[in-house]
């Protein structure tokens, strides 16, 4: 039985990966900062994973002494560690780059066979430090002695839930004119792709969901599901670009997250379709539960 270490196990994607790995018969070890989270359902209805976990290690990838020896008894490492909505003082370089690098060095020391890392599809030219930190790590991983498997997904349904949240409140805001396209993916679908990809060596996979939508179509779908009259406000690109330097002065982390979001909404982000769960069914299930369950 192959043994996998999952870092990022308490996050949206990590939870689905833990579940899928266990269902495929792997021995699953998780590296988490808080054991309590394993027994609770995650954000956006992602699963509670306590029952799918064989071994638990408490550690923080940004503090290398806390993860010493974590890879000693594993064959593969999966990492979806990164900053998304965390509000602590750590920067993208601290977590997305140096945190993952600490884990990679541990994996190298323990001669792990494969290291799978979750990057982002279609954001290579995005100037956000979020992307720069991820690209720096991808570069280290590609040059390491371990076989790399890099997954570049489009947007997750978790993030697209924001459209439903806005529609429930009566108005959806879009950057640009809403005509750019994306094929977002459900965490469970992406997890299945990740688990199958452990059979590969030195590969980069571009992964999108079942259907391609414009951002306006996603907003329209959200209004349909909540049975509200469509009210969509578009914020012109020039206005966002003029406001961005002010945000940078106030909060650098939020500025870089916003820059990334703005970039994604004003570019086409479409990758090979892998998903099964359609966005309408997902919106309906979230709406039935009364909101976004963040």
Which residues sit at the interface with ligand NAP, rule CB under 6 A?
Answer: 8-14, 33-34, 37, 60-62, 80-86, 90, 95, 99, 118, 120, 153, 155-156, 158-159
Tell me the closest approach of the beta carbon of residue 281 to ligand NAP, in angstroms. 18
CB-nearer residue toward ligand NAP: 72 or 294:
294
Q: Tell me the β-bridge partners of 235.
A: 175
Q: What is the DSSP string of 133-162?
A: HHHHHHHHHHTSSSEEEEEEE--BHHHHHH
Q: Tell me the β-bridge partners of 214.
A: 181
CB-nearer residue toward ligand NAP: 80 or 129:
80
Closest CA to 77 of 28, 114, 106, 24: 114
Tell me the closest approach of the beta carbon of residue 238 to ligand NAP, in angstroms. 26
Query: What is the chain's alpha carbon radius of gyration, rounded to the nearest angstrom?
Result: 19
Strand residue runs (E) in 8-131: 27-32, 55-58, 76-79, 114-118
CB-nearer residue toward ligand NAP: 242 or 251:
251
Tell me the closest approach of the beta carbon of residue 34 to ligand NAP, in angstroms. 6
Tell me the closest approach of the beta carbon of residue 287 to ligand NAP, in angstroms. 20
Closest CA to 269 of 44, 119, 167: 119
CB-nearer residue toward ligand NAP: 58 or 228:
58
Tell me the closest approach of the beta carbon of residue 131 to ligand NAP, in angstroms. 9
CB-nearer residue toward ligand NAP: 60 or 206:
60
């Amino acid at each position: 039985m192959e043994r996998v270490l999952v870092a990022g196990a308490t996050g949206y994607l990590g939870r689905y990966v833990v579940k899928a790995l266990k269902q495929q018969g792997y021995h699953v070890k998780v590296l988490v900062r808080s054991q309590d989270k394993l027994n609770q359902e995650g954000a956006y209805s992602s699963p509670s994973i306590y029952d799918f976990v064989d071994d638990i290690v408490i550690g923080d990838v940004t503090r290398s002494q806390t993860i010493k020896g974590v890879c000693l008894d594993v064959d593969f490492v999966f990492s979806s560690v990164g900053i998304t909505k965390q509000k602590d003082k750590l920067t993208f370089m601290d977590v997305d780059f140096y945190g993952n690098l600490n884990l990679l060095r541990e994996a190298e020391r323990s001669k792990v066979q494969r290291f799978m890392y979750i990057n982002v599809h279609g954001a290579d030219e995005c100037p956000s430090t979020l992307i720069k930190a991820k690209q720096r790590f991808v570069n280290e991983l590609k040059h390491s002695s371990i076989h790399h498997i890099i997954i570049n997904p489009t947007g997750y349904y978790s993030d697209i839930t924001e459209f439903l949240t806005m529609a429930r409140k009566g108005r959806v805001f879009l950057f640009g004119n809403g005509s750019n396209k994306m094929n977002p993916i459900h965490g469970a679908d992406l997890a299945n792709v990740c688990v199958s990809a452990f059979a590969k060596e030195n590969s980069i996979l571009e992964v999108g969901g079942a259907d391609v939508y414009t951002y306006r179509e996603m907003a329209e779908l959200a209004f349909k599901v909540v049975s509200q009259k469509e009210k969509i406000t578009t914020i012109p690109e020039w206005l966002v670009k003029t406001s961005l330097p002010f945000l940078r002065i106030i909060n650098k982390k939020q500025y870089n997250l916003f820059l990334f979001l703005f970039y994604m909404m004003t570019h086409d982000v479409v990758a090979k379709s892998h998903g099964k769960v359609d966005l309408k069914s997902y919106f309906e299930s979230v709406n039935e539960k009364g909101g976004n369950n963040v």
